[in-house]
Amino acid sequence: MLDDRAKLLLKALVERYIAEGQPVGSRTLSKASGLDLSPATIRNVMSDLEEMGLIASPHTSAGRIPTTLGYRLFVDTMLTAQRESLLTPSLAPDQPQKVIANAAHLLSSLSQFVGVVMAPKRSSVFRHIEFLRLSEKRILVIIVSPEGDVQNRVIFTESDFAQNQLIEASNFLNSHYAGMAIEEVRTRVKQELLSLQSEIASLMQAAVQISSEAITQDRDEVVISGERNLLSVSDFSGDMGHLRRAFDLFEQKTQIMRLLDVSSQAAGVRIYIGSESQIVPMQELSVVTAPYEVDGHVVGTLGVIGPTRMPYERMIQIVDITSRLIGNALSKSK
């Protein structure tokens, strides 16, 4: 356990390092903390903090910098974010995809780091489905979503079907299941199609599966804005390896989507420092996230990605406010 003196010195060291980006020495820390302590006493406390893994000495510098563990203790026990201290921006109601893009841009412009927004989750519902025989055992599935989006998928079947069989199958699906969520359709198809010809039943089950994939694919599920902001961050600009790994992360999006998905299950703002999330494996990056709601239901997540040396108090404010703005804008867009 840290005593109050050690906590004050750690807090002062983290805040100073976040502000200036330079290792903090005992003389600087004495002034920053406001404590009337001798340099020798401060050095002893810093040595204890280093042994605990809260700070580290880079290279041969006499100064110290926070470790991931030090940042975590700072964020969990020494941070008090005030919503009102941030000028409230605006986010106008619009088409959902435009609201999401604007929110990502707002996050990046306010933070000067990278803004990420996961699109609202939609239930996989189809309005209309059609089958078209292309050749032997090769069928085109045409799916129309409630929003009017048309998706085409080619499936290969074990049996060959005549076009009149395909029309019969599509008529059955449209009359019995149109407007339902695919998840519900998949369950009912298994239960209710046992009385049909097995070949037709297997075709419909394949179509339901392909419909689910088609409706959920081809959407920009995560919008990322401001990647180039990292080029001006001193923590990255001097190390092309760090930059390359960060840009690979943004390009692939998969790990970011997983992290945002996990974050949507928690209430309020969450902070992942370095690689402690085990999903975004970059020691040099921190992620601040928050879920957003529409009509009282969590539908997505947003966040800011930047260096571990970020002003966490301000990032918490930005993410918290933007989550409420996007929720309001999407509710009014309906």
Q: How far is CA 38 from each of CA 34, 45, 49, 231, rounded to the nearest angstrom? A: 12, 11, 17, 40
pLDDT in tens, 182-197: 667 767 776 776 666 5
pLDDT in tens, 50-107: 999 999 988 766 789 999 999 999 999 988 766 556 666 778 888 888 899 999 999 9
Instruction: Provide mean pLDDT across the span 224-253.
Output: 85
pLDDT in tens, 92-128: 888 888 899 999 999 999 999 999 999 886 656 778 8
> What are the residues whose beta carbons fall under 8 Å from the beta carbon of 154, sequence distance 6 or more?
134, 138, 139, 140, 141
pLDDT at 19 over 80: yes
CB 143 within 8 A of CB 126: yes
Q: What are phi and psi of 111, to 5 degrees?
A: -90, -25
Res 319: pLDDT:
95
Task: Tell me the angle at which helices 4-20 and 39-51 cross, rounded to the nearest 10 degrees.
Answer: 90
Enclosing H/E stretch for 327: helix 312-333
pLDDT at 217 over 60: no
Of 3-12, 17-26, 88-97, 155-164, least confident by mean pLDDT is 88-97
The whole-model pTM stands at 0.72
**Start-to-end Cα distance in the chain:** 51
